[in-house]
């Protein structure tokens, strides 16, 4: 009978989750502040589950995440007592979120009814209501895998929360040069900074007739910005780095550095290689 009651409770919670998600409004801002709190109904199962949720959200989203410990610093030592008084009630939890300046509260609940019941509620602070809820039943002694935690969060939060971006700002010494990033044309210089999915690696190529093409590759981190300063030189003629005294000085530097590579530029044609160790296209 206890197992049947447990399954019934889980099914009911899952149905509530579907209804809540269906009624959710437009996706909120992907950089909003979210507090993750933990409430236990007399259970010691799944130790550290809230910290795992915080870690997963920090890695996969651009949300501003406060875990239980960080929230306690801002809210005060009375946080645990407030959570007990709230007992999972949305309006009460929204007040905690408001006090710490959060837009949402994610409440991770752990209880036991034979099996371990893990619930997650997403509470909108402004409306003081539950916007999504998920629940799962786990065997005693079992714990969700990292993949399962990720799956819970992807059901709980809107898809836009899992899209992360960075910015590549490309500045060239010439106007009218064609820019290609990640194999896609981005127009002619000067161009506006590019907001692109991250983390990712992008090949950059800048070309203009009569000039040596510029190529490079950058690794763009989430929420980061990379500035690329491209110097295109004219084809033909003697470049500054081809003069004998520059090459001689470079040879001294290479020898002095114990064979350390020296890079003058990122170039794409073999004819532009400087004939010393460590100079690349």
> What confidence tens digit (pLDDT) does each residue in 153-207 have?
999 999 999 999 999 999 999 999 999 999 999 999 999 999 999 999 999 999 9
- Whole-angstrom distance, CA of residue 64 vs CA of residue 50: 15
Nearest Cα neighbor of 220 from 147, 170, 279 is 170
Q: Tell me if domain 2-162 and domain 164-235 are identical in fold.
A: no
237: confidence class by pLDDT, cuts 50, 70, 90: low
Helix, strand, or coil (residue 203)? strand
Q: Confidence band (pLDDT; 50, 70, 90) for 140?
A: confident
Q: Which sequence spans correspond to the domains of the chain?
A: 2-162, 164-235, 238-281
Query: pTM to 2 decimals?
Result: 0.67
| pLDDT of 246 above 60 | no
Instruction: Check if the beta carbon of residue 196 is closer than 8 Å to that of residue 181.
Output: yes
Structure letter (DSSP) for residue 2: H
Cis amide prior to 199 (ω within 30 degrees): yes
Among the listed ranges 18-22, 104-108, 238-242, 254-258, which one has the minimum average pLDDT value?
Answer: 254-258
Each residue of 26-54: pLDDT tens digit? 467 778 999 999 999 889 999 999 999 99
Q: Does 164-235 carry CATH code 2.30.110.10?
A: no
Least confident range of 45-59, 79-93, 247-261:
247-261
Q: Quick one: pLDDT at residue 24? A: 41
Q: Is omega for the bond preceding 57 within 30 degrees of 0, making it cis?
A: no
Q: Is residue 270 over pLDDT 50?
A: no
Judged on CB neighbours under 10 Å (0-12, 13-18, 19+), 122 is buried
* 3.40.50.10610, 3.90.78.10, 3.20.20.30, 3.30.565.10: CATH of 2-162: 3.40.50.10610
């Amino acid at each position: 009978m206890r197992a049947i009651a447990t399954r019934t409770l889980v099914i009911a919670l899952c149905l509530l989750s579907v209804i809540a998600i269906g009624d959710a409004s437009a996706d909120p801002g992907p950089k909003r502040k979210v507090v993750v709190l933990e409430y236990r109904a007399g259970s010691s199962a799944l130790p550290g589950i809230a910290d795992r949720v915080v870690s997963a959200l920090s890695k996969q989203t651009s949300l501003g995440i406060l875990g239980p410990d960080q929230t306690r610093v801002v809210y005060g030592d009375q946080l645990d007592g407030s959570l007990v008084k709230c007992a999972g009630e949305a309006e009460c939890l929204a007040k905690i979120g408001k006090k710490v300046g959060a837009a949402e509260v994610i409440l991770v609940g752990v209880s036991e009814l034979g099996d371990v019941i893990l619930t997650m509620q997403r509470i909108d602070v402004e409306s003081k209501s539950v916007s999504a809820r998920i629940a799962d039943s786990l065997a005693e002694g079992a714990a969700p895998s990292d993949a399962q935690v990720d799956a819970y969060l992807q059901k709980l939060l809107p898809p836009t929360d899992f899209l992360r971006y960075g910015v590549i700002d490309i500045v060239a010494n010439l106007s009218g040069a064609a820019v290609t990033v990640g194999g896609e044309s981005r127009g002619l210089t000067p161009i506006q900074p590019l907001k692109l999915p991250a983390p990712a690696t992008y090949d950059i190529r800048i070309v203009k007739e009569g000039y040596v093409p510029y190529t490079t590759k950058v690794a763009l981190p989430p929420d980061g910005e990379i500035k690329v300063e491209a110097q295109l030189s004219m084809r033909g003629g003697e470049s500054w780095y081809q003069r004998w005294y520059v090459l001689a000085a470079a040879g001294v530097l290479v020898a002095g550095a114990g064979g350390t590579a020296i890079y003058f530029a990122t170039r794409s044609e073999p004819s532009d290689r400087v004939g010393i160790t460590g100079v690349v296209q």
